[in-house]
Amino acid sequence: MFQGKEVMILESVSKEPKGRENVAGRVKGLFNRRSKAQALALSFGLALSLGSNGVRADINTVPLVAPLYHGGDLLQKQLFKGLELSVTTGRDLAIFSVAGMSLDAYILTLPLDAPTKARVIARLSDPFYSIPLGHFLYLFYDRYSRAENRDQFRDYLLSQYSKEQIAPWQHSLFSLEEQVKDNTEPTAEANDRREGMTLNRQLVAMLVTVYDRLFNNDDWDLGKKLPEHYRYLGDSPEDLALIADIQPLIITEIGKYVGSLPEGDMRSALELIIEDGKAENAAKVNNKAQAITVTLIDFVRLNVLKAYRQYALPAQRAKAFSAWMQASLKEDPKGLSDFLASWSQRPRAVQITVDGLSQGLMQALVAPNSGPYLKEVLAKDAALLQLSPASAMGRPQHTPKQDFLRQLVKNGVTDQYYLPFFKSLYRRSENGIATGGISSTPTISVRNLPIIKTGAAVSGKGGTGIPNFHFVDRTRDRAYYFFGNDALQLENLAESRGMRTMFDRLNYLKTLNCNAQYDWNAQTSFDALVNLGLGEVIRDFGEQRCLNELSLRAEAEKGLQHKVAAVREQLEAYDKMGAWRLFSRMSLRAKLNEQLNELALLSEQAMPDYLLIYNPWPDHFAHFKGPFSDEIIAPTGELNRLDYWLGRLDKVYRDAGIYPQTLWGMAGDHGLAPVYHTLNPELVLQDALKQRGVELKISKISSDEGEGPKITNNLNPPSLHGVDLVIASTAGGNYMLDFFNSDRGWQVQPLYQELTRFKVREGKALDMVSLLADELQESLDYLVVRQSDCTLDSCSVRLVGYRNGQRRDEMISRESGVIRYQALDAKGAPELLALAQSNPYLTPLSDVQLSTKQQLLELCLGSAKGCSAEQWRSLAAMSPRPDAVVQLAHLYDEDRAGTINLFPKEGFGYNTLVPGRHAGEHYLEKDAFIGFWGETVKPGQRLGPLDNGSLAPTLYQYLTGEQVEVGDNGWGYPSVLSSLN
């Protein structure tokens, strides 16, 4: 019917480099001349005319196929435009079960007080009350409880190894002894920072009680359209009244819940909250009872909305999809059949984010004899253990067990069950794995995770606005620290800067989130904070539930493909049926309409177009056990556990039949380095000031690494006015200081010159930069401070550190895309960043590489012209500090990145109790994994150094065909899709 038009448009597209805008414009023109159903059938038919084999075999065709089906002018603006989400759409679905029983029966099992229980039961007849409650409880009970809660990785190992084979690799996280549950109090060692929260009935009862109080009036009538964004509680009179009403209830419920917790950080924190809930503490600044009330109200309301959106959206999408297909059946059955053929072969993407995943480490583990990495780790371990620094204040509380590391270095390993997925990945797809993934400085998760997940930069319009695990917002007089209840503020903070997630960008596709934050627009989601809370005590908690969901969807996907084939056969018969067979056509069309409706419903239950997975455990346990400990790298360790779940994920996609059109991408947010000696810089600073007769008012906003969380009242936080210095530490490897002595005002970050004449109360002036550098010289690698004001366009930073007993002052400046790095003390070339040195963890440079490096050294350091970011990156990749010059040149793009940042030397940890660190500037912590694989990509050569932020834009371009331009539409990093072909 539209064949001529199809050819005309496709010929036009083939001549245009940016096909999406042209296709969209031409299709829009056709909309003006034809009915919507005809135009949509045409547009979807165009996708088919490109051929399903193109999607499978040649990625160059994907930019044409993808926008026609997934593009904004079609799917977003036509098919799924304006879906109204409200409880009224689901009144007929109000009868469902929780924990295998009806909602009212389940409520009766909860330990609620009698009045609350009676009121909840009475209100269940109101669908505006019961439907959101039911799906909220489903989210927190059925979705998180429909797994065995067995350590499946442990079961897998015991099925592959004999106990004698696995016995040498037992450690604190893996034992051959069966775990026997009892009611005895666990010891402090047994808790080992693995308290977490448990989804017991007392907690569920507390959530129900809070829900009942919150939804006890018409202020939150979900019969209306659900909001596009959640509004967090503020200091309006209405919000304050709600908080005052709920707080006594929260404190009472917390009192009940505390009794179910063992002694430890979690229980102590809750007991402090209960104390602040007393009437005499109501006016207390940073009242923790009010803080936790606000947090819990936001948590409950946010998750009620999420749960209902995730329930309502699939039904709405299926309804819209069915209506469109039925309209297309009437107008053009052949076009509908062609669309279904193309649609069943559409591109899919899987995005995996692993906390603490290092490329260098993984490559060394899959091929231990391929380079010096592991030998260098062991040699450094022996050397740094023998050091006795005069300034060190202690050692980590835990000494890592590294038997497997020694085994690898001595004899290697030929174990088919050790890292089988990664071995296969490097064997099949090594070219798709970057030689060095670049983690953004400081290399901390809270900074890097949203970069990986969204492709946004930290600063600028559409950025994350989150420079570190903590920061001071001088415009609000507010300090943030994200190990505690401030974690719930992350999405709000990022959204306020305009950051767009992949779920925001792909909200017209079918999406699934497994355990990652920033998931508001995910159509199905397993909550990140729930996984973090429960995954410590229930191993594989999040992984089991994600794979269970995907396994169910894989079966639905196979059923969907059979349904598509059957419907296409019927469509062919319908299309060939003569018009004179009126009643036969009407009968078959009625049957087809029923089949299309079933197909639309089944499509929502099938595999997602886009999947995001987050795994926090390699980093989490590497902090407490050491990055090269048996707990991490042994066959029983976290990396082999990760490998096991990646293998199962791979199998699900293969079983579902969609592996051929799926692009896979995975990135780590940083690596980790060992800590042998610990130091608290604020204690050194305070002692030095005391010796000079000076006392400063210092506010510490962070916990030391290994300590418990902090609670901050977002409505009444402590003021920082009158404070001389705010300090905060990050992961043992970065230490941030905020001073407030700028001559230009309290909100302005002071520059180097201002810090050299820091005024103290006694009328004296101190050079704070020299004081810090001198007192910390044994442990300090270097500090970084602004030499000039920093913007996205230009900046100069000063580096100060000691080498061989001599102070070195160096400067990095950038202007108009050119970066310069020079010494300021007229002592030759700069050396703090060790650009001239080789990386001892990597294979020695070839003669060609040595020649290239020498040329770059002469070009970038030997003249005043400077180099581009790409040239500096190439040079630093051949040194022990990947991308150091470029990263430090942009350290202060975000004003909230502190006044001075300290980075410790190798082997030292600042403000830490544990043997693993990151956020420093050494190779082991800077090196992150980033790689892509799948049948649709075959890169001709291996990817070079690459920002971990390129993960999301590459997958986005594959799914949509849209070109990604850095600086446009919130993108902070480039796509490398063209390099994968």
- pLDDT above 60 (res 83): no
- pLDDT tens digits, one per residue of 442-459: 999 999 999 999 999 999
810 alpha carbon, distance to own chain's centre: 34
3-state DSSP call for residue 936?
A: coil
H or E segment and range at residue 380: helix 373-386
Q: For residue 280, give Cα distances in angstroms to 2, 58, 283, 718.
A: 77, 70, 8, 18
At residue 261, the pLDDT reads 81
235 or 78, which is more confident? 235
Instruction: Return the minimum-mean-pLDDT range out of 114-118, 137-141, 310-314, 386-390.
Output: 137-141
- pLDDT tens digits, one per residue of 200-213: 677 788 788 888 88
Of 535, 384, 527, nearest to 909 (Cα)? 384
At residue 185, the pLDDT reads 42
- pLDDT above 80 (res 546): yes
Name the phi and psi angles at 637, rounded to 5: -95, 180
Of 925, 918, 923, 921, nearest to 469 (Cα)? 918
Torsion sign (Cα): 974, 977, 980, 981:
negative
For residues 313-340, give the mean pLDDT: 91
Instruction: Return the minimum-mean-pLDDT range out of 475-479, 509-513, 760-764, 968-972.
Output: 760-764
* Long-range contacts of residues 787-794, Cβ cutoff 8 Å, at least 24 apart: 787/751, 787/752, 787/811, 787/813, 788/751, 788/813, 789/749, 789/751, 790/892, 790/893, 790/895, 791/893, 792/459, 792/460, 792/893
Of 273, 311, 302, nearest to 290 (Cα)? 273
- pLDDT above 60 (res 72): no
- pLDDT tens digits, one per residue of 485-525: 899 999 999 999 999 999 999 988 999 999 999 999 999 99
Report d(CA 217, CA 238) in Å as an integer: 13
Query: pTM to 2 decimals?
Result: 0.87
H or E segment and range at residue 290: helix 288-331
Q: What percent of the chain has pLDDT over 90?
A: 61
- pLDDT tens digits, one per residue of 632-687: 999 999 999 999 999 999 999 999 999 999 999 999 999 999 999 999 999 999 99
359: confidence class by pLDDT, cuts 50, 70, 90: very high
Report d(CA 174, CA 161) in Å as an integer: 14
Name the phi and psi angles at 791, rounded to 5: -130, 180
- pLDDT above 50 (res 126): yes
At residue 226, the pLDDT reads 67
- pLDDT above 70 (res 363): yes
Beta strand pairing call for 610-615 and 511-514: parallel
Q: CB atoms < 10 A from the CB of 321, how many?
A: 21
**Which amino acid type is present at position 727?**
I
Could you tell me if residue 590 is left (phi over 0), alpha (psi between -120 and 50 degrees) or otherwise beta?
A: alpha
- pLDDT above 60 (res 586): yes
CB 69 within 8 A of CB 342: yes
CB 570 within 8 A of CB 336: no
Which residues lie across from 902 on neighbouring strands? 735, 783
- pLDDT tens digits, one per residue of 4-57: 322 222 223 233 333 333 333 333 332 333 333 333 333 333 332 333 333 333
Report d(CA 337, CA 566) in Å as an integer: 11
Average pLDDT, the chain: 85
CB 624 within 8 A of CB 914: yes
Report d(CA 476, CA 747) in Å as an integer: 9
At residue 679, the pLDDT reads 94
At residue 537, the pLDDT reads 80
Report d(CA 886, CA 819) in Å as an integer: 8
At residue 100, the pLDDT reads 55
Name the phi and psi angles at 614, rounded to 5: -125, 130
Torsion sign (Cα): 571, 573, 579, 582:
negative
Cis peptide before 442 (omega within 30 of 0): yes
- pLDDT above 70 (res 370): yes
Query: CA end-to-end span of the chain, whole Å?
Result: 35
Report d(CA 351, CA 356) in Å as an integer: 16
- pLDDT tens digits, one per residue of 888-899: 999 999 999 999
Report d(CA 142, CA 755) in Å as an integer: 56
